[in-house]
């Protein structure tokens, strides 16, 4: 059964780079047609898509985050990583990784399954 487990530092300092990892169990992250995404949820707010990396390492990011996120993967660890540069207090929240299904022809896409999330607090 596919499972995703996120990990992070818990606390990050303003203006620094936040680094999170997502360990994937049950399937290879480079399996064809699989996409892997990071999504966050600030306290009391809705979900925000951060970015997606596909099975060939191509990346797609939320333009509103202005070039600050970087997604990558480590095939030896079957792990997806997120680095978010120049974090601010607005970056506080629960960070989820999720597998994304996407069909580029029809435009169909959804996120399933999700990890439990890792809580990040950004403070000076």
Partner 1 sequence: QSVLTQPSSVSAAPGQEVTISCSGSNSNIGGHYVSWYQRLPGTAPRLLISENDKRPSGIPDRFSGSKSGASATLTITGLRTGDEADYYCGTWDRSLNSWVFGGGTSLAVL
Q: Which of 32, 67, 90, 110 binds partner 1 (CB under 8 A)?
A: 110
Give the interface segment with partner 1, choosing from 12-20, 25-33, 74-82, 112-120 (CB under 8 A): 112-120
Report whether 59 contacts 83 (CB < 8 A): no
63 lines the binding site for partner 1 (CB under 8 A): yes
Q: Which of 64, 90, 104, 105 binds partner 1 (CB under 8 A)?
A: 64
Largest CA distance in the chain: 45
Report whether 56 contacts 35 (CB < 8 A): no
87 contacts: CB under 8 Å, gap ≥ 6: 12, 13, 14, 15, 16, 17, 18, 122
107 lines the binding site for partner 1 (CB under 8 A): yes
Cβ-based nearer residue to partner 1, 48 or 55? 48
Q: Could you tell me how many residues of this chain bind partner 1 (CB under 8 A)? A: 26
Residue 124 per-residue DSSP state: -
Give me the residues that bind partner 1 (CB under 8 A), please: 37, 39, 45-49, 52, 62-64, 96, 98, 101, 106-117
């Amino acid at each position: 059964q596919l499972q995703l487990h996120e990990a992070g530092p818990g606390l990050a300092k303003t203006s620094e780079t936040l680094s999170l990892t997502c360990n994937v169990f049950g399937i290879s992250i480079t399996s064809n047609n699989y996409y892997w995404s990071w999504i966050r949820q600030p306290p009391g707010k809705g979900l925000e898509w951060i970015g997606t990396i596909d099975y060939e390492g191509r990346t797609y990011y939320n333009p509103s985050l202005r070039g600050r996120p970087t997604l990558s993967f480590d095939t030896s660890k079957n792990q997806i990583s997120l680095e978010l540069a120049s974090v601010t207090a607005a970056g506080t929240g629960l960070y989820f990784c999720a597998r994304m299904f996407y069909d580029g022809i029809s435009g169909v896409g959804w996120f399933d399954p999700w990890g439990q999330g890792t809580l990040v607090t950004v403070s000076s």
